[in-house]
Structure 1
């Protein structure tokens, strides 16, 4: 159902197809990447890879990985074997705890090395939960921590991989550069080795040397291929290293989810407290103050009723107007808590009512097969209310549009306007608070508002119908 409030045209397209299945027509315009991502290089990536700083950092990472992995592997195998052998006595437990604690320390070192050389920024795992003071409680926390055992697994898995990566890198890099620079040093063979050039093949009857211009040129080209290809191969090897660091040395998915839920719970509590304070303030400064004044006016009118009936009638008439104003304020306050039209008739009617009060013409289209969960419906309503308030106050738009649809298990909202743009959810504005509220229910807020407009704000909410 589409409804126009006002007249004239409306804002940019909804950013979805007729069936509400995604963002295909606006995704290409979405701002992505950092400013550096758009920087142009004079050389293509394939040619500049051998001399890039990133390549040398990755090379350094691979070359360091072997000695580091030898230390880690030796520590783990030695300590775990010793601890397992001593488990028949009590001494095995502290040895195993020391082994795991050492693996956690090595994990911190590896995260720092990956951050410095591979630009792989991985947060540390969840801290140990030591519920009581003492060595026994600490050892129990270390042994029960899943992060400790993942760190131990990393020291075992990383050693063979580091050995393989070292062999491949230490072979291909010197081979590529030596063949590429062969024209510069092939003269060493006839002058000091007594042979025509680098020997490609030789037996009792035949010897093949790379000594004529054609063979030297082909050797150089082969070296160029190796030199250009090796950085990409090393990059692929270090990608696996990054996956190992992320998967085994970072926080587990469960712990990340727990942290996220704890943060979202805090947001929900703070939001609820702020809403209660706002309601109390509105009641105290609005309807309550007006009703107190009304009671005083009615008391004065009662006293004047016998002495000056006409003055009393005027005061009663004024009080009647105050009653109407107080009732309107109470209705507005109730609408701010949860509008009755939303409960009775759903998002279509509720958003149409909001759009009719907006200062610019708003087109509303709601395409929902059914109603989502009441809590999600309420969040969607107040999200659109806040976005339309921003349109009225800041956008200087001529028209706006609100689109609501369902895409699989998500409730999608889009509010667009043809105003001046420049909205930024990261600048501590009301959009930032709105994004926090949506995050608390696993929602997403995306803002596309270039300077000069138009502005498109997309909100995703779980359906939970």
Structure 2
């Protein structure tokens, strides 16, 4: 059952360990804590040594804290790009406020300036990422100029602060801690991704060998046997043409039925290897065709799919969705399977998302994480450059959700 008019809730960024969404949310929370810790420290300092400059820093930090709160709400809703942009603006405001109002904290401001470039780059597309990194380099020079130009004004108009060195050290420690956590997270993420990719390639190689053996067996047991029978019957037909025309006609009718059966078997086998409709019409044509073969009602929504994508990506998404649909059809014992595929462009970068869900009995994902079917879906998506999340609880249905953030579009 195909219904282009029924709309499912939009696919959002998956929240799972190591995902960009989770890391950005963690970063925003950590920075909110750091900002309000700094506000408390500056309020205490201002009570001891009243200064308008320190008040300016406090106001800038409060504004940045509010910006980070807004960014956290946006990130929770899946709007990672806007969340990161708001966070970058708040961070840069703090950096320049520190350098302008209290120039002795310029070293701290420089560290603050580089925090977004290190931690938030994944939330942006390639063009925005380039702009962010370039702007950070340019603003580094501007920040030093601001801090040095204000140093003499500060020294001339402010009394000596006894704990100045301790204060700068404290703020440097806080910001450096955030940077170290970001560096460690990046290193762990790269290592984990490389390990997962290597393991998935190994499993895919083994699966490819098994698939070739299955194809060989299917050809031998199916189409090859039918073609052998056809060859024998054609010989019988040839001998009967001159001696028994009536028997020849009977054999000829049987040949037609056998030939149609062989064509069907070859077509089904070819469809399992790589369906022609996927090559010709992409996911928008292949997924509805696959949905017609399920026993359980299947709703497919491809209205949000506006681009063709690279063939390896389309194949990965198709076979992952097909596996999820077949699992739901055979094992979920539900009444409806929903499939949604969509893409959009952020900063010129197409983002492909897909989701397959059912209202069946569900299962414990943790206990079945190493299952052949689930591992195969993850490997397909990971090898094509995407991410996949499988969510399910007993009695609560199952959702398979994935996304590709890299440029996977291709002109067709």
Q: TM-score, normalised by structure 1?
A: 0.46
Match of 1:426 in 2: 369
Matches within 5 A, 1:107-146: none
Q: What's the CA shift for 1:337? A: 1.9
* Cα separation, 2, equivalents of 1:247 and 1:360: 47
Q: Secondary structure at the match of 2:260?
A: helix
4+ runs of 1 displaced by more than 3 Å? 250-265, 407-410
Match of 1:275 in 2: 211
What stretches of structure 1 of length at least 5 have no aligned partner? 28-235
Alpha carbons of 1:283 and 1:377: their partners in 2 closer, same or farther (altered >3 Å)? same
Q: What's the CA shift for 1:351? A: 0.8
Q: Which has the higher helix share?
A: 2
Q: Among residues 359, 379, 382, which one is paired with 1:439 in the alignment?
A: 382
Q: What's the CA shift for 1:312? A: 2.4
* Cα separation, 2, equivalents of 1:426 and 1:252: 21
- From the CA coordinates, give the structure whose radius of gyration is larger: 1
Q: What's the CA shift for 1:346? A: 1.9
Match of 1:464 in 2: 408
Alpha carbons of 1:330 and 1:430: their partners in 2 closer, same or farther (altered >3 Å)? same
Alpha carbons of 1:463 and 1:363: their partners in 2 closer, same or farther (altered >3 Å)? farther
1:411 aligns with 2:410: no
Q: What's the CA shift for 1:305? A: 2.9
Q: Among residues 297, 301, 319, which one is paired with 1:365 in the alignment?
A: 301
Q: Secondary structure at the match of 2:3?
A: strand
Q: What's the CA shift for 1:330? A: 1.2
Is the 1:399–1:417 contact (alpha carbons within 8 Å) kept by the matching residues of 2? yes
What stretches of structure 2 of length at least 5 have no aligned partner? 17-172
Match of 2:289 in 1: 353
Q: Among residues 308, 313, 316, which one is paired with 1:379 in the alignment?
A: 316
Q: Secondary structure at the match of 1:4?
A: coil
Match of 1:184 in 2: none
* Cα separation, 2, equivalents of 1:247 and 1:449: 31
* Cα separation, 2, equivalents of 1:278 and 1:355: 24
1:341 aligns with 2:284: no
Alpha carbons of 1:404 and 1:331: their partners in 2 closer, same or farther (altered >3 Å)? same
Is the 1:297–1:319 contact (alpha carbons within 8 Å) kept by the matching residues of 2? yes
Q: Secondary structure at the match of 1:416?
A: strand
Coordinate RMSD, CA, aligned: 3.8
* Cα separation, 1, equivalents of 2:295 and 2:373: 19
1:349-368 superposed Cα distances (whole Å, 9 cap, x missing partner): 11111111111111111112
Count of residues in Structure 1 that have an aligned counterpart in Structure 2:
246
Q: TM-score, normalised by structure 2?
A: 0.52
Alpha carbons of 1:423 and 1:458: their partners in 2 closer, same or farther (altered >3 Å)? farther
Match of 1:38 in 2: none
Q: What's the CA shift for 1:23? A: 4.6
Alpha carbons of 1:395 and 1:363: their partners in 2 closer, same or farther (altered >3 Å)? same
* Cα separation, 1, equivalents of 2:369 and 2:184: 29
Q: What's the CA shift for 1:313? A: 1.8
Alpha carbons of 1:240 and 1:459: their partners in 2 closer, same or farther (altered >3 Å)? same
* Cα separation, 2, equivalents of 1:23 and 1:258: 22
Alpha carbons of 1:418 and 1:328: their partners in 2 closer, same or farther (altered >3 Å)? same
Q: Secondary structure at the match of 2:261?
A: helix
